[in-house]
C-alpha cells in the first residue's frame, strides 16, 4: 500500500481544508469559549458538514452515504484538528457509525447522522483513565434490559441524541466476553447527565444510569457479544483521534514556523538561528513519521486486515508523542507570548492533551502493542 493520498483523496483534503478553514477556524473555538456556549459546538455547522457529505463518509452508498473509508474520514479529521474545530464528527460520523454499521440499529440512526440532525456520544469509559474494563450492569427485564451504573468522559454526552453504551450482561468486570453494546436515546428516563468543561474548553459529561429501561431492539449486534461492535468502534475512534491529533500537531507546527519567519531578535529573524532550525527540523520529522503510521492504520482498517488492530495502537501512541512535541516546542519557541491566552498556540496544547487521553493514551497503547507481541 502506498503511504500517500491518491488524487481523489487529495481533492477531498483540499475541499475539507477550504471548508473547515473558512467556517470553523480557531477563532470559532475562541468565540464559543468566550460566550460560554452550553453546547460546545455549533449545530448549524454540523448540518453544513452533512450538506458537504462529510457525515456520510463511512456510511455505505446503499444507505445514502458516500461509501468511502477511514483514509477519507481521516482527511477530514486532520483538518478539524488543524483548526481546532469543535465538532461531533469523530464520535458520531466515525466511531458511532463504525459500531452501528451492519446492525439493525443502522437503519434507525444513519438517516439522522446523514442529515446532520443526530449527534452520538460514546458512553464507554468508567474510570479516570481509558481501559478495557466494563462494570456497568444491564439486567434482563421483560423483553429488554435495565441499565445501572455510571460513565464519564462522555464527549458531547450532554448534547447527544444517541448514546452508545457498553454494559455487562454476564461475567465479571475484567472479562472480555459477556458485554453488550446498546443504542440508548439520550432522553431515556432514569438517565442523569452532568456536563463538565475540559481543559480545551470542549464539554464532556458524567452519566448516571438508574435502572434505565431499554427494549431488546436497543442491542447493537447480539447479547453478550458486544465486544465485536465495541472493537469496531474503538479501532475507528482511535484511528480517527490519531488523525485529528496529527492535524493539531501540524497546525501548531505551521503556526510556529510562521512565527520563526517573522519574529526578530538582535536584529535578525529568529528562524535564522541554527538551534531553532534544528528543533523545527526535528519536529517536522516526528510528525511525518506519525503521519505514515496513521495512514498505514487507516489503510489496513479499510482493507479489513488482521494487522490493523496493532497498527491502530501504533498510530495512537506515535501521534500522542509527536503532537506533544509539536505543541510544547510551539509554546517554547513563541517565548513569553506563547504563554498568553491572546495567542492561539496555547489552544493547540490544550486540545492535544485532551485528544491524547481519548481512547487510550500513549502508555496504554504502547503496553497494548507490547502485549500483542508477546512481551
Digit-coded pLDDT (tens) for 176-221: 889 999 999 999 999 999 999 999 999 999 999 999 999 999 999 9
Q: What is the pLDDT of residue 305?
A: 96
What number of other Cβ atoms are within 10 A of residue 282's Cβ?
12
Annotation: CATH topology of 7-118 = Butyryl-Coa Dehydrogenase, subunit A; domain 1 (1.10.540)
Return the pLDDT at 336.
83
CATH 1.20.140.10-classified regions of the chain: 228-372
List the one residue out of 102, 145, 99 whose CA is nearest residue 122.
99
Assigned superfamily of 123-224: Butyryl-CoA Dehydrogenase, subunit A, domain 2 (2.40.110.10)
Which residues of the chain form CATH 1.10.540.10? 7-118
CATH number for the domain whose boundaries are 228-372: 1.20.140.10
pLDDT tens digits in sequence order for the chain, 375 residues long: 667 899 999 999 999 999 999 999 999 999 999 999 999 999 999 999 999 999 999 999 999 999 999 999 999 999 999 999 999 999 999 999 999 999 999 999 999 999 999 999 999 999 989 987 899 999 999 999 999 999 999 999 999 999 999 999 998 888 888 999 999 999 999 999 999 999 999 999 999 999 999 999 999 999 999 999 999 999 999 999 999 999 999 999 999 999 999 988 888 988 889 999 999 999 999 999 999 999 999 999 999 999 999 999 999 999 999 999 999 999 999 988 888 998 999 999 999 999 999 999 999 999 999 999 898
Task: Give dist(CA 100, CA 86) in Å, integer.
Answer: 23
Locate 278 and state its grid cell: 534544528
Q: Note the pLDDT of residue 175.
A: 82
Beta pairing partners, 274:
none
Asked if 319 contacts 240 with a C-beta cutoff of 8 angstroms, the reply is no
- Quick one: 305 exposed, middle or buried, by C-beta within 10 A (0-12, 13-18, 19+)? middle
**Residue ranges matching CATH 2.40.110.10 in the chain:** 123-224
**Chain centroid to CA 104: how far?**
24
Would you say 310 and 235 are in contact if contact means Cβ atoms under 8 Å apart? no
d(CA 154, CA 173): 20
Q: What pLDDT, on the 0 to 100 scale, is given for residue 112?
A: 98
Helices (H) and strands (E) in the chain, counts: 11, 10
Cα angle for residues 40, 45, 50 (degrees, 5° grid):
125
* 176 DSSP assignment: S
Amino acid at each position: 500500500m502506498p503511504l500517500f493520498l491518491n488524487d481523489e483523496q487529495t481533492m477531498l483534503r483540499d475541499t475539507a481544508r477550504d471548508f473547515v478553514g473558512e467556517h470553523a477556524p480557531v477563532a470559532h473555538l475562541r468565540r464559543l469559549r468566550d460566550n460560554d456556549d452550553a453546547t460546545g459546538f455549533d449545530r448549524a455547522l454540523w448540518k453544513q458538514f452533512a450538506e458537504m457529505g462529510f457525515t456520510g463518509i463511512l456510511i455505505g452508498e446503499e444507505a445514502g452515504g458516500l461509501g468511502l473509508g477511514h483514509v477519507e474520514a481521516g482527511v477530514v479529521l486532520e483538518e478539524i484538528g488543524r483548526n481546532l474545530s469543535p465538532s461531533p464528527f469523530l464520535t458520531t460520523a466515525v466511531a458511532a457509525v463504525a459500531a452501528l454499521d451492519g446492525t439493525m440499529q443502522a437503519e434507525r440512526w444513519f438517516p439522522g447522522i446523514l442529515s446532520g440532525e443526530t449527534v452520538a456520544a460514546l458512553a464507554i469509559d468508567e474510570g479516570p483513565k481509558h481501559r478495557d474494563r466494563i462494570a456497568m450492569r444491564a439486567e434482563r427485564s421483560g423483553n429488554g434490559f435495565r441499565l445501572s451504573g455510571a460513565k464519564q468522559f462522555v464527549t458531547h454526552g450532554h448534547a447527544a441524541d444517541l448514546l452508545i453504551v457498553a454494559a455487562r450482561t454476564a461475567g465479571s468486570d475484567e472479562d472480555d466476553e459477556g458485554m453488550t453494546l446498546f443504542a440508548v436515546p439520550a432522553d431515556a428516563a432514569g438517565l442523569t447527565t452532568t456536563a463538565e468543561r475540559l481543559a480545551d474548553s470542549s464539554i464532556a459529561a458524567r452519566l448516571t444510569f438508574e435502572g434505565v429501561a431499554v427494549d431488546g431492539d436497543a442491542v447493537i449486534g447480539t447479547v453478550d457479544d458486544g465486544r465485536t461492535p465495541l472493537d469496531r468502534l474503538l479501532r475507528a475512534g482511535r484511528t480517527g483521534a490519531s488523525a485529528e491529533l496529527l492535524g493539531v500537531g501540524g497546525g501548531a507546527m505551521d503556526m510556529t514556523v510562521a512565527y520563526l519567519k517573522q519574529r526578530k531578535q538582535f536584529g535578525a529573524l529568529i528562524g535564522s538561528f541554527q538551534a531553532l532550525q534544528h528543533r523545527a527540523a526535528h519536529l517536522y520529522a516526528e510528525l511525518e513519521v506519525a503521519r505514515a503510521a496513521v495512514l498505514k492504520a487507516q489503510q489496513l482498517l479499510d482493507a479489513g486486515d488482521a494487522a490493523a488492530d496493532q497498527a491502530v495502537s501504533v498510530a495512537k501512541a506515535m501521534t500522542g508523542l509527536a503532537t506533544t512535541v509539536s505543541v510544547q516546542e510551539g509554546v517554547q519557541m513563541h517565548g513569553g507570548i506563547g504563554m498568553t491566552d491572546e495567542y492561539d498556540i496555547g489552544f493547540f496544547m490544550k486540545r492535544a492533551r485532551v485528544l491524547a487521553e481519548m481512547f487510550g493514551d500513549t502508555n496504554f497503547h504502547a503496553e497494548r502493542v507490547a502485549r500483542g507481541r508477546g512481551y
